[in-house]
Amino acid sequence: MVWNRHLQAALRPMVCAFLLLGGAAPAQTAATADTLYHALGEVPGITALMNDFVERLRVDPRIGKMFAETKPANLKEQLRDQVCQLSGGPCRYEGDTMKAAHAELGIRKADFNALVEVLQVAMDARQIPFRDQNRLLALLAPMHRDIITR
Ligand code: HEM
């Protein structure tokens, strides 16, 4: 619905602020996390979402340059495993900790917000319901403490 889309766009900065302030929902139980994994389309859906997300990140005018030295194929795989595991799926993320992966990047709050917005656009494009979008964002939000370094 058109109005719904406008409302989502208008709420986006507020959602970011809410998440950054640590207002995210508490950790999911196993059952709801499993539901989120299904809601995201399981491995095929999450793979497609992360592939599109990384492509959008690379061309984003605000933060695209930060990915210039990064191998997109590897980042897509790591994100797929991470999101699959976090949402209750059968994958295992074996990449670096969020602290180690982002330590040298000098990421600001604005960069983090930009990445969240790009993820929301990618989720909109796959018509993932707003409620499920927010459930994924709530799982990712606490990571800001390890990712934002300035
Ligand atoms: C909740 C937010 C975020 C999550 C879940 C996340 C997740 C990840 C993951 C899983 C990796 C791969 C680590 C590995 O290969 O071992 C990674 C790498 C990377 N992330 Fe993030 N990230 C987040 C926020 C950000 C932000 C805000 C930026 C910059 C705007 C960013 C820039 C990068 C870059 C450039 C790399 C590649 C580093 C390299 O090539 O070694 N990330 N991230």
* Atom number in ligand 1 closest to CA 78: 10
DSSP 115-126: HHHHHHHHHHHT
CA dist., res. 9 & res. 147, Å (int): 24
Query: Ligand 1 in contact with 45 (CB < 6 A)?
Result: no
pLDDT per residue over 69-102, tens digit each? 999 999 999 999 999 999 999 999 999 999 999 9
Q: Which domains occur in the chain, in start order?
A: 30-147 (1.10.490.10)
Closest CA to 120 of 14, 34, 3, 26: 14
- Atom 37 in ligand 1: which residue has the minimum CA distance? 70
C-alpha of residue 1 to centroid of ligand 1, in Å: 33
CA dist., res. 41 & res. 66, Å (int): 29
Q: Work out the average pLDDT over 49-69.
A: 98
C-alpha of residue 98 to centroid of ligand 1, in Å: 7
Q: Work out the average pLDDT over 32-44.
A: 87
Q: What is the pTM of this model?
A: 0.86
The three-state secondary structure class of 52 is: helix
pLDDT at residue 2, rounded to an integer: 46
pLDDT at residue 17, rounded to an integer: 55
